[in-house]
Amino acid sequence: MRIFKTKWFARFARKEHISDKMLMNAIREIEQGLTDGELGTELIKKRIARIGEGKRGGYRTIIAYRVGSLSVFLYGFPKNAKSNLSPVELDVYRRLAHIYLGFSNEDLAKAQQYGEVEEVHP
């Protein structure tokens, strides 16, 4: 399973002190069937806890997810800043998921080269 984060999400994660290890743990939980919402074709909502706190007051992440092959963290927000995505936002993230999950390994390498995505490492 290859795991990536978009340029926007990488900035968000750095600002909020969300480590790659935390992102990898979230994907492991998804692989075990523990999601916080199926948002449509290959789009998942997953909670990530704040450091030293639980998931209830933590972050919500939106992930493009293809079983066994690819995950891309697209968007994240603190629960206290926003309760959910609007229908327009949901449509946009579904479209983004379709695009990212359609990338070949060459496309992902180019996106990395241009700084549009970063691979998540342990």
Question: Does the pLDDT of residue 54 top 80, yes or no?
Answer: no
Which three-class secondary structure state does DSSP give residue 50? coil
Give the confidence band of 56 by pLDDT, cuts at 50, 70, 90.
low
Which three-class secondary structure state does DSSP give residue 120? coil
Number of domains in the chain: 1
Question: What does the block give as tokens for 3?
Answer: 């795991």
Question: Does the pLDDT of residue 98 top 90, yes or no?
Answer: yes
The pLDDT of residue 79: 74
Kindly state the percentage of the chain with pLDDT values over 70. 92
Residue-range definition of the domain harbouring residue 90: 2-119
Question: Does the pLDDT of residue 62 top 90, yes or no?
Answer: yes
Alpha-carbon distance 80 to 88, whole Å?
Answer: 20
The pLDDT of residue 57: 67
Which residues are registered as beta bridge partners of 93? Answer: none
**Sign of the CA dihedral 33, 91, 68, 29?**
negative
Which three-class secondary structure state does DSSP give residue 75? strand
